[in-house]
Amino acid sequence: METNELTEVAEPTGALGTLGIDGGIFVAQLVNFLIVLLVLWKFAYKPILRMLDERSERIEKSMKDAEHVERRVAALEDERKQVVSEARAEAAKVMEMARTDAEALKADTVEKARREVERVIVGGKAQLKSEQEAMLREARKEMIEIAVSAAKKILTEGVDDKKAASLAEEVVRKLT
């Protein structure tokens, strides 16, 4: 039976034995499992958790930065709208000032032109009157000269009715 003793395996006893579990092997496997668990915890799980935390922080930071950029873009858009609005208001004000200045300049130019026309008309009337007076003086002078020359002729020459009529006609022709 010696051979029989060697081939016989010790059967587990107790509650674990009825399940077919050897207590010594179970404890050894449990220790091995805990060692593997600690090694994985130390060298795999913690670095993975750390990497995931860092990634979460980066994502959070990126989200905050994106929100900040979005708020800044909205603020810049509001600022752009305000600048455009102010520029339009300023342009309208400048246009209104230019229109008022142009109307004032137009009114001033029209007034100056009206005064110049009045001055020219007054000057033209004065010049016409003086020329008319000069022409009348000249005509009187010529009439006097013609009358004097006719009188001289009448006095120097004996004049009869026929000759007096021809002299009068000649005086009238010279006057016209």
Per-block average pLDDT, block size 10, for the chain (176 residues)?
47 66 88 94 89 94 95 95 95 94 94 93 91 87 78 70 74 71
Q: What is the pLDDT of residue 139?
A: 83
Distance, CA of 46 to CA of 54 (rounded, Å): 12
Q: What is the pLDDT of residue 90?
A: 94
Q: What is the pLDDT of residue 93?
A: 95
Distance, CA of 133 to CA of 140 (rounded, Å): 10
Q: What is the pLDDT of residue 62?
A: 94
Q: What is the pLDDT of residue 13?
A: 58
Q: What is the pLDDT of residue 4?
A: 46
Distance, CA of 30 to CA of 24 (rounded, Å): 10
CB 167 within 8 A of CB 150: yes
CB 23 within 8 A of CB 16: yes
Distance, CA of 150 to CA of 35 (rounded, Å): 164
Q: What is the pLDDT of residue 145?
A: 80
Report in angstroms the alpha-carbon separations of 94 from 87, 100, 107, 109. 10, 10, 20, 22
Q: What is the pLDDT of residue 20?
A: 80
Q: What is the pLDDT of residue 2?
A: 46
Whether pTM > 0.75 for this model: the answer is no
End-to-end CA distance of the chain: 188
Helix axes 46-156, 161-175, angle to 10 degrees: 170
Q: What is the pLDDT of residue 143?
A: 78
Q: What is the pLDDT of residue 77?
A: 94
CB 44 within 8 A of CB 50: no
How distant is the alpha carbon of residue 130 from its chain centre? 62
